[in-house]
Amino acid sequence: MLISHFYRCLLFFCLSMSVFTGIRGEVKPQAKKIVILAGAKSHPAGFHEYIKSARLVKAMLEKNGRGKFAVEIFYDWPDDETALDHADAIVCISDGRDGHLFRDASFLVPERVPVIARQMKRGCGLVTFHFSTFAPDIYGDQVLQWSGGYFDWQDEKGQRNWYSAILNSDTEVIPATPSHPVCRGVKPFKINEEFYYNIRFPDNRAGWSPVLTVPALNSDKPDGNVVAWAIERKDGSRGFGTTMGHHFANWENDDFRKLVLNGIVWAAGSEVPAGGVNAPFYDDRTVTELLFGKRRKALILTGDNIEAHEWPKTTAALQHLFEDQSPFHIDISTGIEDLGQYSLSDYDLLILNYCNWNHPQPLSDPAKQSFTDYLSSGGGLLILHFSNGAFHSSLPNASATDWPEYRKICRRVWDHSANSAHDAYGIFTVNIRSRSHSITKGVKDFVTTDELYYNQKGSEPIDTLLSARSKDTGKDEPLAWAYQYGNGRVFQTVLGHNAQSYTSDGFRRVLLQAAGWASRKKK
């Protein structure tokens, strides 16, 4: 028994040592976790591109970081705040509040400040970028400790009366502390930028360093021409901030890109390479492929509709359909003005799942122009179900949003002042009317559960692709058609009432093939 016990112990010891040795030989440093809080768009295309910037940073760090960085993006704020608990650095790329204008930076919403305070207390780094450097004075002392500086827009009474300032200029910027790790590999460079300056910095400059200055600013404030800075806190954790980043195109500047990546890496507690963080600029299509494994992108425009149309559920159904069974990555916009704020040229396809039923504000002229320009230049569009009721004078709560041009973009519209209507929601058979079109090729007649629209209004010609016999009218009613607007291809269907409607295999195939046709690519 004693001998048996001895050999068992010896065997256990040998196995343990072999496992330990194997593990020791394969151990790799744990990747630094960087969380980016990306805000919603509020400026025209090309400016304040928070989501695009966040995705670009993720692609650059993960592709070129050799496994040293794991970047997670949350749009505004994580639903589960524990996602922040193991972050080595939190990067805020969002709006900031300027008096009553815009909104607080993502991390400065009152109920979120204590959450960020806990992350800072445990040693997490913080990075603020361009507009997110704006902060109300109530949080000023905390932000000074966390990231080392902020744009001060308040006076002593809390009113909008800037201590800080803004200047748009195409000028030279210079590394202010060349020996600082954030400045590694960064040379003086010229850049066209919306510079925020006269930033509020700590009175006690222990651990604080200027990183980038702009001589042309000619400020009379202490360090007033500093537009990037770094702070090492007493516990060794770090913060970095820059007021630059207004133009998305500036990411193509090698020195600007290196400076920001250096700052993020340093704030995360990582060693900045001797020559700085080297990463190429990736265009949007490459970023989409690197992050999502897809070369194509579509944008669903939604966020409003009649109460009976559950746009969150139908949008989710569309997203799952296209991301699971097509070459498209899907972005979702819940603000229709994004038509004028997103770079629509980034998208191969727009999908309209929207009706401004209770949204009386007219679509802005820039949004209209951007939308029509996109289509005229060859962009693709899918118009689904009650999206044909948008921007119409007959809308009960939004008649002032009438947009006549939309009747050319959308060839059959729901007119409340006429007799547009639909059969009761239920099951019916959809018939293929044109089997030679690429949208319907190979699709057989199918059964769906939906609303069957009829008496839709419009004078522009259509070639019906799908139809169904209406119980109300006793006629075969057109349900889908395809055509061109300028050089753009448009597919319109009045099917798609709810999530159940998108479970029909036939309808799903039609949508996938319509997306390929409208975007001029095969599925």
Whats the size of the chain, residue-wise?
Answer: 523
Choose the weakest-confidence range: 14-18, 142-146, 178-182: 14-18
Q: Mean pLDDT over residues 399-410, rounded?
A: 97
pLDDT beyond 50 at 306: yes
pLDDT beyond 80 at 16: no
pLDDT band at residue 388, thresholds of 50, 70 and 90? Answer: very high
Cα-flanking dihedrals φ and ψ of residue 75, to 5°?
-85, 105
CB 105 within 8 A of CB 38: no
Topology alike, domains 32-286 and 295-518: yes
pLDDT beyond 70 at 19: no
Looking at residue 113, its pLDDT comes to 98
Residues 263 and 347: their CA atoms lie apart, in Å, by 31
94, 131, 210, 252, 390 from 268: Cα distances, Å: 19, 21, 18, 23, 47
Fold of 295-518: Rossmann fold (3.40.50)
Q: What burial class does residue 152 get, using C-beta atoms within 10 Å of its C-beta: 0-12 exposed, 13-18 middle, 19+ buried?
A: buried
Give the residue with greater pLDDT, 358 vs 399. 399
Which 8-state DSSP code applies to residue 295?
A: S
58, 340, 383, 449 from 453: Cα distances, Å: 45, 31, 14, 13
Q: Mean pLDDT over residues 304-320, rounded?
A: 95
- Cβ neighbors of 220 (< 8 A, separation 6 or more) are none
List the chain domain ranges.
32-286, 295-518
Per CATH, the number for 32-286 is: 3.40.50.880
pLDDT beyond 90 at 26: no
Q: Structure pTM?
A: 0.91
The residue written with tokens 């980038």 in the block is 212
pLDDT band at residue 521, thresholds of 50, 70 and 90? Answer: low
Residues 303 and 433: their CA atoms lie apart, in Å, by 32
Residues 444 and 446: their CA atoms lie apart, in Å, by 6
Among the listed residues 429, 471, 433, 477, the one whose alpha carbon sits nearest the alpha carbon of residue 449: 429
